[in-house]
Structure 1
């Protein structure tokens, strides 16, 4: 794809680190099938968005930001610098929907605030994310459906890129997290084992 060639030319990390990072992504997610540099109006996105040939299970695909990790973000808990990229997993048969725009929008929030998204964060609710009215917010977690090796990519001794998974959740689930904390929510996820890739799933709360 054009994006694949373009990305290879863009040296975001000195000494070919971008190539190594792309290799890390493709080792876990399959080859980059296509990507987005601009939105529907032709305006440049804050980061590139890539779509890969594989997801964690058969019949799934993964999308990721590429380039968010150029900017160090700050943890609002520890004050430390964090470099991160965002991923989104969907079923192949649903197409792209507005997933690239969603990833770009969340990236812009991080860049505007210079604040990293941490495990347990809730973005929204801001109304339905997709056509289905159920899912109205995003939950930030580790990429739990993937091998542990996908959690982070070490660029060098000073810099590690953290992979953050955006999971669509319902407004009831968002409220539960705010009231009870994310650990209790993840305990419920483990207990009930809902299909977090299904954008038509029912609320677990």
Structure 2
């Protein structure tokens, strides 16, 4: 089998397929790059979007971008990893649902907080945009908190969807968003950080726990 290589940013959403690879137990290379590196010609030749994550089998000239696509590929190629869980078809479908929530709803809502200029050019209005975005992020997290009222993980068992939500909670922690009213999210952080594969990813990216 050709060795897989994952390109990512430290602490970014590429942490999700990084952890998925650790779940598979296969040999792979991790290359953490800078945002500047992602805009260089050699990287853009592999991924014209200039983003991470990027999964590569370079000897096969195979490059796959986008978290959802990468996770689907890894799940198909390494079913023994149970990336979306070991439960029923319905449970796995729920895991996919919550992955979509983390990827398309929560992640997207953070954009104005990281770069308000990407949303609006007027610098005088950017603080108001960021403030509104902060409120929106907190509102979206309520959905996850409510869902976790009677369970430890989003779909009932640990899956890669929990890892994606965990990454966004790390961002919330970094930005000092007030999620004190959502105790179930604190529980999820503890539960996710207790997973050996997550601990391995944290160590490999030089990240501290936040629980």
Taking structure 1 as the reference length, what is the TM-score of the superposition? 0.25
Higher relative contact order (CA 8 A, sep 6+): 2
Normalized per residue, which structure has more strand? Answer: 1
Larger Rg: 2
